[in-house]
Amino acid sequence: MNQVGSKRIVFLFRTYNDIDHIAPVAWKATISGWPTFLFFVDKNLIDDYRIQFLFKQGAFQLSIPFLDNFLRKSEKWRKAFFVRRLLKWTLSFLLGTYLLRKHEIEIIVIEWTGHLGRGLSELFLRPARSFMLPVFSIPHGYFLWKNPNFNQVVEVGLKASGKFPDFSDRDWFKSYVVQSEEHKAMNVQSGMDPSKIRILGSARFCSEWTEINDKLMLRVCPKTDNDQRFCVLFFLPHWDYQVERKSCISLLKKIIEEPGLFLVIKAHTRGTGALSHEEQENLRNAGDVSFAHEDQHSPALIRDADLVVNFGSSIGFDALRRGISVINPRYLHRNKTFFDDSGAVFDTFDEAETLKMISAIKARKIAAKDPEEIARFLRRRVDNGGNGDDVLASYLELFAGEQ
């Protein structure tokens, strides 16, 4: 691939998911000789292992400590909304302009969001508009859905007005990156100009970053080394994404009760897939179960699992990339995803079939999915039609104006 001309670039990080999906692009920019800056627009995420890795590779942090503390405290001024807005608007021009000019920033990269972003993003986005700096909105997740009413918020809006959420303000970005034709079509239905939307592969799940990420993570297996039980790793989804919660809890309990199995449960990283205290206690009473902590990263858990149960989450790509079998219990939600009928996972349609499938895989009574079928699936859904080693470079080409 042709060398991309370097640009002075700042990446805005708001949440853990931003790091998941945006850090790979920041890494590629850094090692490609781009002067790369990071700014945390909400929580200070400096301790994350990927952020520390970026610093070691040569990235720099932008920060004005007194400003960060002051503005974050001002978010609590609920009774002074207009004062807070005026303050942020003014400081956006003054201090945002100072940061952009001092570091000669040429490009800004932010998560999927509206034209002013969230948290402290507008410190950069307001002056960027005045200076006509290009701002790119890139994925902070992966859009899996084939049906339009994929969560309760969208479903309520569609029922009430027959309309999708209004994304027309996102046309302000230089480009808005998605990972599939289906997601592009959904955003067009939400009012976006199709010419603004670019389809690239997944930075988070592409083969190039997967290899790097594997080297960075420590082993975090919840089992002891002498525990020979078959490890089933279950990823919880967003509960408000059309999930049959009672059926999900029932399946978890039945897996725990199965002899010779060890169940590890990982809540969704956005905090909307957590179990209640009562649910956790009921599951503990059913048998031996481990609840993964927030600092136990999903890819590391997958490496030490024998089987992954996943529906409604893109983490299934990570399991397939690492050669771990995936069960897709489709009956646990009302959504349709790219995993359904993909040939890369084991689809199940009720609790009994799911338990039977787990037992069959454990006993090796069923053949693993065809590696070529899995590779085709990943090429289409993650690697943008290629082998995954040029996905990150394609983002830099877009930023540099070479696409």
What would the pLDDT profile of 277-286 be if each residue is shown by its tens digit?
999 999 999 9
Is the per-residue pLDDT at 250 higher than 80? Answer: yes
Closest C-alpha among 20, 15, 5, 13 to residue 37: 13
Is the per-residue pLDDT at 270 higher than 60? Answer: no
pLDDT in the model for residue 154? 80
Closest C-alpha among 338, 390, 398 to residue 198: 398
Which residue(s) pair with 40 in the sheet? 13
Which letter, b or e, does each residue of 355-371 get, where b requires 16 or more Cβ atoms within 10 Å of its Cβ?
A: bebbbebbeeeeeebee
pTM (predicted TM-score): 0.90
- Residue 243's SS3 state is strand
Q: How large is the average pLDDT for residues 7-11? A: 97
CA angle 120, 188, 108 (to 5 degrees): 30
Lowest mean pLDDT among 147-161, 170-184, 374-388: 147-161
Q: How large is the average pLDDT for residues 102-124? A: 92
CA 227 to chain centroid = 31
The DSSP letter of residue 94 is I
State percent of the chain over pLDDT 90.
Answer: 68
Q: What is the mean pLDDT of the chain?
A: 89
Q: State pLDDT tens for residues 175-196.
A: 999 999 999 999 999 999 999 9
pLDDT in the model for residue 1? 40
Is the per-residue pLDDT at 32 higher than 90? Answer: yes
* Cβ atoms of residues 37 and 62 within 8 Å: yes
Q: How large is the average pLDDT for residues 252-258? A: 96
C-alpha dihedral sign at 64, 67, 69, 71:
negative
Compute how many other C-beta atoms are within 10 angstroms of the C-beta atom of residue 228.
10
C-alpha dihedral sign at 369, 370, 373, 379:
positive
Please give the order of strands across the beta sheet that includes 230-235: 289-291, 261-266, 230-235, 307-309, 326-329, 346-348
